[in-house]
Amino acid sequence: MVNTEVKPISVIIIEDFKLTRVGLRCALNANDDIDVVAEAEDAVEGLKYIERYKPDVILMDLGLPGMNGIEAMVKCKEMNFDSKIIALTSHDRSEEVISALSSGASAYCMKDIDPNKLADVVRDVSKGVCWLDPVVAQMTLNALPKIENIGILPGKSNLDGRVPLTEREFEVLKHLVSGKSNTEIAKELIVSVHTAKAHVCSILQKMCVNDRVQAAVKAVKEGIV
């Protein structure tokens, strides 16, 4: 008989404040499809657990003692595991968001996030979705240079010769940065999921990136949206 049981999403929590750690663990373990396999109070200990368990998702506090979360993210990526990282912080500075995404984070969450929403973010991130807290996302976009000032207007040639995005692709890219899945994008644009996926594939090709997370990071870093 074939075993059809779905393996839970394995999670490691790296957070120096014990009460927060316990709260996160309890909230996530309340979901049958999520399993917190280890937790650490600093990056050095956390990296050892990551190497041992190779988790699907890592919840990484940015304000860690000693090695901070940004540095730890870089070391995580150097391990070449397929673990996805969720940056967890009480700070909402736009420069910190960009640093986290540039260092390998797939999501940026405030510590006061609703537990049910956090579980949804863990599920989405484990599938490759990029997610930003809506307040942080808007603040970060507002801090970036306006698109008309950097020569990357949709549908028009760019000075450096890159293939421009169409108006619709530009719209899809904005939804990607907001962390929406293909299904959610399709619903927003009133198109089929197949069409939304086709737009995403075209965007990845034109932006010369491998996945939607890289596309979102590049869009934020270069001020494309």
Q: Could you read off the pLDDT of 86-133 as tens digits, one per residue?
A: 999 887 676 777 778 777 888 889 888 999 999 999 999 998 888 888
Report the DSSP beta bridge partners of residue 107: 86, 131
- Sheet holding 131-132: strands in order across? 34-40, 9-14, 57-61, 84-89, 105-110, 131-132
Q: Which backbone phi and psi does 12 adopt, to 5 degrees?
A: -120, 135
> What SS3 class is residue 224?
coil
Q: Which fold has domain 144-221?
A: Arc Repressor Mutant, subunit A (1.10.10)
Rounded to an integer, what distance in angstroms lies between the CA atom of residue 54 and that of residue 50? 5
Q: Could you read off the pLDDT of 1-25 as tens digits, one per residue?
A: 445 568 999 999 999 999 999 999 9
Report the DSSP beta bridge partners of residue 105: 85
Which pLDDT belongs to residue 99? 76
What number is the average pLDDT over the span 131-146?
67
User: What residues does each domain of the chain span?
Assistant: 9-133, 144-221
Rounded to an integer, what distance in angstroms lies between the CA atom of residue 131 and that of residue 108? 7
Q: What is the largest CA-CA distance in the chain?
A: 61
Which residues contact residue 3 at a Cβ distance below 8 angstroms, ignoring those fewer than 6 apart? none
CATH number at 9-133: 3.40.50.2300
Which pLDDT belongs to residue 152? 44
Distance, C-alpha 120 to centroid of its chain: 12
Rounded to an integer, what distance in angstroms lies between the CA atom of residue 134 and that of residue 124? 15
Q: Could you read off the pLDDT of 158-211 as tens digits, one per residue?
A: 434 444 788 888 888 888 888 788 888 889 888 888 888 888 888 887 888 777
Residue percentage of the chain with pLDDT more than 70: 84
